[in-house]
Amino acid sequence: MRKRLTDGGDAPQRDDDPLSGLVVELVRSIRRRRTISARLEGNRLIVQVPAGLSPAEERAWAEKLGSRILATRRRRELNRDGDLAARVQELNERYFEGMLQVADVRYVTNQQHRFGSCTPSQGTIRISDRVAKLPPWVRDAVLVHELAHLAEANHSRRFWQLANRYPLMERARGYLMALGLDDGDDTESQPQPG
């Protein structure tokens, strides 16, 4: 039995719905006992569930699996063309004389509380997919911040001297704070002007 959640189903569509824009079709099966699966076909999310689930459980599973599938799709699209790696190399050349060794840089969809992360021992940089939506000069500030961590793994005075080579760093941090996206928790380590 098939049921559409977004067109008159039991669960109303919410403004913060992670599946907005998708038609969610539930396929109930009396043979299916435990497993739940989902697949995306165009703008249709087809979720196969056991017949005994409540409408709330069906919706919860559709959101969980749909969010995973959409995150995978978004990550794949953002990293497809190599633009991020090229930009990191340009910034490395401009602000660090090309001295930093970046083994890998990519957008990820699992960073909800930070914009980026760096593993200096491996030379890897991960950038939240949320950064892709920001103005390019703010994105560059995040990239320079993470590049600086390759040389200095903390938020020491030396780190901020490196990060502040990017002339719009303070403005970008202010932009992120104004959006409520930067809590400013590392400002006490930043060198004060004068």
- Give residues with Cβ within 8 angstroms of 125, minimum separation 6: 88, 102, 104, 105, 106, 116, 117, 118, 143, 146, 147, 150
pLDDT band at 16 (very low <50, low <70, confident <90, very high): low
Lowest mean pLDDT among 8-12, 32-36, 52-56, 118-122: 8-12
Question: Would you give the distance in Å from CA 111 to the centre of its chain?
Answer: 5
Half-sphere exposure for 13 (CA within 13 Å, toward CB):
13
Strand partners, 131: none
Note the pTM of the prediction, 2 decimals.
0.70
Pinpoint the residues of the chain covered by CATH 3.30.2010.10: 83-189
- Give residues with Cβ within 8 angstroms of 156, minimum separation 6: 189
CATH class of the region 83-189:
alpha beta
Per-residue pLDDT for 11 more than 50? no
Model pLDDT for residues 44-56, shown as the tens digit of each residue: 888 999 988 888 9
Which has more pLDDT, 22 or 162? 162
